Amino acid sequence: MAEQQTPEQKARAKARAKVARKLEGGVPSLRGTLIKIAFLALADAGALFASMLLIAQHQWLYFSVLLGATLLINWIYLRRGNLPAKYLAPGVILLICFQISIVFFSGFIAFTNYGALHNGSKEDAITSIKLSAIVTDTNAPFLYVSPVEDSNKNLEFLATDTTDAANPIIYLGGTDWAKQPWHQLSAAELANIKMGPSPADGTVIALSIKGFKTLTQDQVIARQAELSSLKVPLGANVDKAGFMALDPSATGVQRTFYDAIYDPKADTFTRQSDGKVFYADESIGFFDAKKGDLHSERISDTGWRVNIGLGNFNRIFGDKSLQKPLLGIFSWTIVFALTSVVSTFVVGLALAFLFNDDRIRGKKVYRSIMILPYAFPAFLSAYVWKGMFNTNAGFINTSILNLHKGHMIPWLTDPTWAKFAILLCNLWLGFPYMFLITTGALQAIPSELTESAMIDGATNWQQFRLIKLPLLLISLAPLLISSFAFNFNNFTVIYLITGGGPSGDPSLRVDAGGTDILISFVYKIAFSTGVGADYGLASAFSVLIFFIVGGISFFSFRRTQFLEDLA
């Protein structure tokens, strides 16, 4: 016979069954099932559309990831049970898309030369170099042109060389050298030509040829883009022979050629004007005259993305043009972060103690006023402070300090004063946060502790130093560490107040301003308009910042243990 369960065992079994039913999600209603299927259908349709685009671009890795994620989502939501997974899945997907993937992508880019000069593949770079090497042969005659269309709707150039006006030479040809070769018309073909005055200047040229439709002026204007890109080869090898291209005035054509010819077998470009050869350097992603020499001549500043290993990190620690400003920027970043944390904490703590006194009436009103800077958007407050710091018309110089012309403080133009301005603005933006968390922590301290200390004869300073401050630091230390990490990368206040300025040494290849911190310096490297954006170097800096902040935070959290021992 089965052993009879006690009431306690029955109660526990009933509780476990209840929890199991919750985890299974219960029995879904018809309405809920239909809504779930509708959302899954929309998600699958979006995934199918994205998959088609990825397949068309041969992005098989991303296609595989998308396919796996789509199948996993359908399995999670169509399978009964797994209720926690149904709630966690959207958050995990967003975390992977907008956080984890970006971290890994930045880490990958840090080991490449990706930037404004290397933003595509090698094939893209070759195409761009060839396009930029197109040169018009100024020694070749200018030919008047009449665009014509053959029976297959293919455009061709009917061109007239009027160098000898008494004996003009007429040519015809299209884009396909095998079927529409560019050639001088024979005597038999000239019989099918109709001559007439050119619409441009009245010169007598060939206007039409039998068997072809001559484009009207309106048709020429309507098909201007197509005609401008039309290249009629002058030989079987268009790279060497050149081609006829439409003049910007659309009235004639002239021989045009590629000054740089690419040899796919040798993987080189040869410049026709002087015969110089440029080799593909896979170590730097450029075609240069001498491999491995960073200072050798390049055929073009257009390169391609390659993996350069630790090249970006070697530049950070070995490039003298970076070393000079980097030490000052790193020092100022540490000072800025530490000073911001200490100043906001001290002011917030002082105000929290002040408005925690029971003798003050209307504490709620005062506390509400204190958090107003925290309630307003930071970028608006930063712009207001920027106007107040104006040297000649700012409120601080003219009204608060009552200074006169010639004695104005250059808040935003002098590096030292600009640093003070940044710290003052950041104090205004940051102290309400410290005030809020300190007020909450202060109210959580049992009143019995301070009452016992008062009975034992402890002064207010002793109560603060030996009781309240250690207890506050136990709960606030993690928040202070996170505040340091935030200010270490506080891009907003630097960018909006000074933009990292005032400008530093103009002789350097990088724009390192007087108030730049690491993150604003990285921003300038990544989105520079001077020497060109360098995403690879910026990503390498980002990796270093990640390890710096992570290392400081790790050891700081480890050191917070002594606060508990002190308490």
Q: What is the pLDDT of residues 501-518, one digit of tens each?
A: 888 777 777 788 899 999
pLDDT in tens, 66-93: 999 999 999 988 887 777 888 888 889 8
Is 411:502 a contact under the CB 8 Å cutoff?
no
Per DSSP, the residues of 364-418 read HHHHHHHTHHHHS-HHHHHHHHHHHT-TTT-HIIIIIS---TTS---TTTSHHHH
Fold of 319-566: MetI-like fold (1.10.3720)
Is pTM beyond 0.85? Reply is: no
Closest CA to 319 of 8, 106, 531: 531
Q: Where are the domains positioned within the chain?
A: 134-258, 319-566
Q: What angle do CA 423, 336, 498 make, to 5 degrees?
A: 55
Query: What does each C-alpha distance from 497 to 342, 379, 421, 424, 491 come to in angstroms?
Result: 21, 9, 8, 11, 10
Closest CA to 500 of 243, 351, 328: 328
pLDDT of residue 4: 67
How many beta carbons lie within 10 A of that of residue 418, not counting itself?
23
Question: 3-state secondary structure string, 445-482?
Answer: CCHHHHHHHHHCCCCHHHHHHHHHHHHHHHHHHHHHHH
Q: What angle do CA 302, 304, 306 make, to 5 degrees?
A: 145
For residues 42-50, give the mean pLDDT: 93
How many whole angstroms separate alpha carbon 202 and alpha carbon 207?
12
Over 90: is that where the pLDDT of 13 sits? Answer: no
How many whole angstroms separate alpha carbon 119 and alpha carbon 135?
25
**Distant-in-sequence, close-in-space partners of 92: CB < 8 Å, separation ≥ 6:** none
For residues 412-440, give the mean pLDDT: 94
Task: Extract the tokens encoding 488.
Answer: 């270490």
How many whole angstroms separate alpha carbon 304 and alpha carbon 123?
8
pLDDT of residue 530: 53
Stretch among 184-188, 405-409, 553-557 having the lowest mean pLDDT? 553-557
DSSP 8-state symbol, 151: T
> At 556, which helix (H) or strand (E)?
helix 535-559
Is 222:162 a contact under the CB 8 Å cutoff?
no
**Residue whose structure tokens are 């890109």:** 229
Task: Extract the tokens encoding 194.
Answer: 């109709």
pLDDT in tens, 296-353: 889 998 999 999 999 999 989 888 878 888 889 999 999 999 999 999 999 999 999 9
Over 60: is that where the pLDDT of 432 sits? Answer: yes
Q: Percent of the chain, pLDDT > 70? A: 94
